[in-house]
Structures are given as structure tokens and as C-alpha cells.
Amino acid sequence: MKVLTGAIAAVIGLVVLALLAVVGVVISDDDASATESSSTSGGGLKGVPAEFREWILKADDACKEQEMTPALLAAQLWQESKFKTSKKEATSPAGAQGPAQFLPSTYAMYARDDDGNGEASLWDIGDAVMAQGRMMCSLLKSAKSSGYPGDVRALALAGYNAGWHRVVQFKGVPPKSFANGETYDYVQLILSYIPRFQGPSLLQVSGHGSAANALRKAVDRIGTPYAWGGGGPAGPSKGFCDGTNGYLNGECVASSTIGFDCSGLVQYAFAPTQLLPRTASAQYGATSDRPVSRSDLKPGDLLFWSHGGSGSIYHVAIYAGDGNVVQAPRTGRNVEVAPLTSAMPERDYYGATRP
């Protein structure tokens, strides 16, 4: 959740390229104190063959575990097959097959006809990548509930390579002494490959001025976990549970999650140029003297949702242009780009302000 000062003189460019594609926004402002730059972090993907990209993004979107990212899936595919799809190049001596290197018996547990061609095949890119995503999502859940030390991504990757029973056996990633270090090296290599496939972010912002700076700071946090009560001017922080909020499947997750809630993200984005109050309701109160109609929204405006009246405002987001917002949505999700029309229930939309 976030804030801005100054008059926006022009919105020079905004391009949305399909679902989860790159949006380019250029904002100029009377305040030219900031130098022009672009956002390059977040939940994007690079260096992946076009035929894999769509399916990696779909597999990531289908998994609600915050540790799952497109770059993690891409790095794993690179280690498994270098994105090869021929039977000659993508069949291992151990009998693993396809771009995601499944044993047929393992693939049967996760197989679906995701590409709709009438066959669930580990040789089809779509079917293989979606099955990879389902297996990794399941392993991430097991890793998080196991209580074993270390990066849950490492535990999940070890389970993918050696079987979850080996993770249980060693109560963590198997050591170098296991299987001549195959699983240990597999995990370390994939984690090291992730930066190669990371970014650009789903929303790129260039330009200068307070509007661009606030939006850029918010965009650079795409992928950061949601934590009820978390975040502020200094960045993400652990949240807390209040008896109602901060829980996932009955468990308090906010107190162990470093991230942002909606107003914490907004406060972070606009600091230090403009220090907004901490809650969404207070942020509306601090900016309500500058209301903006929905037809006149500009990047950097604040959007609010309410259960009824200004005293019941429960959510705030930043307008990103072309009908999209940047927001920290709810527990179990990450900071994201979302359509304004579906970011929160449409009936709850209360109004917008210009900080």
C-alpha cells in the first residue's frame, strides 16, 4: 500500500501484453528530482523458450504457495532437461522422460491433459510443466509442514529429485555423502540458476517524479508475501494475528511472515517523500480532500474498498494505469498486479484519491 505528491504532467506510455505480460508506464512530473530508471525485479520471467513460458506462468499461478515462482520452475527445467523435448535428448539413463524428467510412475500421480490435445503426456510441454508445478507445489506444502530446517524450496527440490522419503530420512536435504552428492548438487545448482531466469517484473515503470517513484517502489515488491500488519516506510516486516486476520487454514502465519499488508505497502511506496498514516482507513482520511473520479484515474492514485462508508474501509491499492492496480491482496498471496475490476469485490469499491 502507497503515496505521491506533485502534479502529473503526462502519462507517456502504457502497454499491456496479454495475461501476466509486461506493462510499460512512463510518468513525468513537475518534480524532476529523481533520475529515470526501470523496475527489473518482481514476479517476471526471462531467458525461457516461448513454448515453455506460457506453461511456466500457468503452473506458478495454479500454486498458492508463496515460495513458488516462475523462475524456480524455469531453473528446475533447465537443470532437468535444458528445455529439450526430444526423446533422444530428454531421456535419462535412469528412465526419466520429458522436459520435466518424470519417471512414468511418478508422472501418473500428477498427469492431466492440460494442453487439451486429448492425451496426458509427459512429452507434451504443457502437460509436463503443469505436472511439474503440481508436484513442486505439493512438495512445498510438505516442506513447510515438516519443520525441517533450511530453505523450503531446497527441501522441495530434494524431494523432487530423490523422493520425499529421503528428505524425511535425513530430516532435510540429503548430504553430499548420499548418492554421490547427486541430490545435494541438484538442489544447489537450481537455487543458483534462479537469478538467471528472474524478471523483468510484471509491471515496468520508467520516468521521474514522485508518481513514478512511488509506483516503481511498489512494483519492485511484486512477489513479496502478504503479512497482516506487516511493512512500513522502511520496508517489509513480520506481521501479527489479531484473532480474525493473519490466519491461513486456521494457523497464524502473519507472525512468521516478512511482508506487507495493503496499507503497509502503500506507506512504504510513498515514503520518505510523503509519510502516510498506517491503515487504509487513515490513508483515505489523509487524502480524501483530493478525490478522483474513476474515469480520471492516473498512475499513482490510491484506490479504496469499503464494507460501507469511510469508517469501514478495509483495502487500499495503487493505480498502475490501463485498468490495473498494484496491491498486497490478502493472507496467502503476494504483492501483485491485478485488474481494478477484480482486485477486490466490485460492489465494495469506495473511491479514489490523489496523494
Residues 162, 227 within the same domain: no
Nearest CA to 159 out of 169, 149, 352 is that of: 169
pLDDT at 203: 62
pLDDT at 20: 32
**Domain termination residue (choose one: 172, 197, 222):** 197
Number of domains in the chain: 2
Q: Are 65 and 72 in contact (CB under 8 A)?
A: no
The type of residue at 264 is G
pLDDT at 53: 86
Cis peptide before 339 (omega within 30 of 0): no
Q: Are 167 and 179 in contact (CB under 8 A)?
A: no
pLDDT at 204: 66
Query: Which residues form the domain of 190?
Result: 50-197
Give all strands (DSSP E) within the chain, no chain letters.
Answer: 8-16, 23-29, 203-207, 237-238, 247-248, 251-252, 258-259, 291-292, 302-306, 313-321, 324-327, 336-339, 349-353
Residues 113, 179 within the same domain: yes
Residue 38: inside a domain: no
**137 in catalytic set:** no
| Mean pLDDT (10-residue bins), the chain, 355 residues | 31 32 34 29 69 90 89 97 95 96 97 96 97 98 94 96 98 97 97 85 66 86 90 94 96 94 97 95 97 94 96 96 90 89 94 95
Q: How far apart are CA 227 and CA 242, in angstroms?
A: 12
Residue 44: inside a domain: no
Nearest CA to 198 out of 12, 45, 20, 8 is that of: 45
pLDDT at 39: 33
pLDDT at 33: 28
**Domain termination residue (choose one: 197, 217, 234):** 197
Catalytic residue selected from 63, 262, 267, 274? 262
Angle at 43 between CA 102 and CA 254, to 5 degrees: 95
**208 in catalytic set:** no
266 contacts: CB under 8 Å, gap ≥ 6: 1, 2, 3, 218, 276, 280, 283, 302, 316, 317, 318
pLDDT at 195: 87
pLDDT at 207: 67
Catalytic residue selected from 66, 274, 283, 327? 327
Catalytic residue selected from 76, 252, 267, 315? 315
pLDDT at 50: 82
Angle at 196 between CA 192 and CA 202, to 5 degrees: 125
- The number of C-alpha atoms within 13 Å of 101 and in the hemisphere containing its C-beta is 20
pTM above 0.85?
Answer: no
Handedness of CA 304, 201, 269, 291 (dihedral sign): negative
Residues 235, 273 within the same domain: yes
pLDDT at 208: 73
Give all strands (DSSP E) within 193-233, no chain letters.
Answer: 203-207
What is the domain-level CATH number for residue 347? 3.90.1720.10
**63 in catalytic set:** no
